[in-house]
């Protein structure tokens, strides 16, 4: 089976709709083809999202009052014609309806963005905690960025940015690969006394966090630069963590 055949059967394979022979052939192909395995992971994530129940985001409690306050007061002529099919000033009602629809949709998409950011923050925190608990902080151990950066060649489809911050008290200690939102992420690991700092870099996939936040005692910060997504996570004190993120951003070309 080649990649084209696998691609055509991938959806049916994930939905368990293939016969035994073809299902086994697809499974065997995925075990030996990283590209198709990546495509399968992305498709599985899409299936999961479609199967989840739709989220509800209630409108702010003061939205109705704001809309009423913004309504123009009707003129006597408009009030007298209120019983007609298209009353005088009806265009104002149509404009208001369109504005209300935009406001509702805007609130919905803001809620979706917040939900996605919350899920990403949780996943980043879990990755950091798992690495600390298992002791698997890096796949390549080195304080030399000229050793760590080439290690990622062929493992990710971009050249990760690996700043040297040893002179500022944040020495590099290694790097590893992680999975974030179904995508492969290059993770550089830095040290500050007994604390480790994960600096994740990825291309495509989920957009990074916007700004800084805390989650379960861990500090997180995300930004975008040069077409890449960046996210840092650590249990450092917030002031020191903010200094680290500032140094990384200043070092970026």
Concatenated DSSP letters of 64-117: HHHHHHHSPPPPHHHHHTTTSSS-TTHHHHHHHHHHHHHHHHHHHHHHHHHHHH
Model pLDDT, residue 60:
67
Model pLDDT, residue 78:
54
Q: Which residues pair with 174 in a beta bridge?
A: 141, 189
- Whether residues 239 and 121 fall in one domain: yes
Residue 106's CB is within 10 A of a number of other CB atoms, namely 10
In a domain, 41, yes or no: yes
In a domain, 236, yes or no: yes
Pick from 139, 140, 189: which is nearest to 165 by CA?
189
* CATH code for the domain of 162: 3.30.200.100
Cβ neighbors of 219 (< 8 A, separation 6 or more) are 212, 213, 232, 233, 234, 235, 236, 238, 241, 242
189-214 pLDDT tens trace? 999 999 999 999 999 878 888 889 98
Cβ neighbors of 196 (< 8 A, separation 6 or more) are 131, 132, 137, 173, 189, 190, 234
In a domain, 95, yes or no: no
Answer with the one of 31, 51, 71 that is the final residue of a domain. Answer: 51
In a domain, 195, yes or no: yes
Q: In which residue ranges of the chain is pLDDT below 70? A: 18, 20, 45, 47-61, 63, 72-115, 117
- Whether residues 123 and 242 fall in one domain: yes
219, 236 contact by CB (below 8 A)? yes
Strands (E), the chain: 140-141, 172-180, 183-192, 195-202, 211-215, 218-225, 228-234
> Residue 165 and residue 167: Cα distance in Å, rounded?
5
In a domain, 18, yes or no: yes
In a domain, 69, yes or no: no
- Whether residues 33 and 145 fall in one domain: no
Structural domains counted in the chain: 2
- Whether residues 211 and 123 fall in one domain: yes
Model pLDDT, residue 57:
57
In a domain, 98, yes or no: no
In a domain, 60, yes or no: no
Question: pTM to 2 decimals?
Answer: 0.56
Model pLDDT, residue 182:
84
- Whether residues 7 and 122 fall in one domain: no
Model pLDDT, residue 96:
53
60-98 pLDDT tens trace? 667 677 777 777 666 665 555 555 545 555 555 555 555
Model pLDDT, residue 112:
40
Domain that holds residue 140: 115-251
- Whether residues 45 and 119 fall in one domain: no
């Amino acid at each position: 089976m080649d990649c084209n055949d696998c691609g055509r059967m991938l959806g049916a394979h994930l939905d368990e709709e293939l016969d035994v022979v073809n299902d086994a052939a697809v499974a065997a192909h995925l075990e030996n083809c990283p590209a198709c395995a990546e495509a399968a992971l992305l498709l599985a994530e899409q299936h999961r999202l479609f199967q989840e129940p739709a989220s509800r985001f209630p409108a702010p409690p003061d939205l109705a009052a704001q809309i009423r306050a913004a309504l123009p007061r009707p003129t006597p002529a408009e009030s007298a014609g209120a019983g007609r099919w298209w009353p005088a000033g009806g265009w104002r009602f149509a404009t208001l309806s369109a504005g209300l629809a935009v406001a509702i949709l805007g609130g919905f998409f803001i809620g979706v963005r917040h939900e996605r950011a919350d899920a990403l923050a949780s996943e980043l925190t879990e990755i950091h905690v798992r690495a600390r608990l298992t002791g698997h902080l890096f796949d390549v151990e080195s304080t030399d960025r000229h050793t760590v950066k080439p290690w990622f060649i062929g493992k990710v489809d971009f050249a990760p940015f690996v700043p040297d911050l040893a002179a500022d008290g944040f020495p590099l200690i290694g790097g590893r690969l992680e999975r974030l939102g179904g995508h492969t992420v290059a993770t550089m690991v830095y040290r500050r006394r007994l604390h480790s700092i994960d600096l994740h870099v990825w291309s495509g996939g989920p957009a990074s966090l916007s700004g800084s936040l805390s989650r379960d005692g861990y500090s997180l910060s995300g930004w975008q630069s040069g077409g890449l997504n960046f996210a840092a996570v650590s249990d450092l004190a917030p002031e020191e963590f903010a200094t680290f993120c500032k140094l990384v951003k200043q070092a970026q070309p």
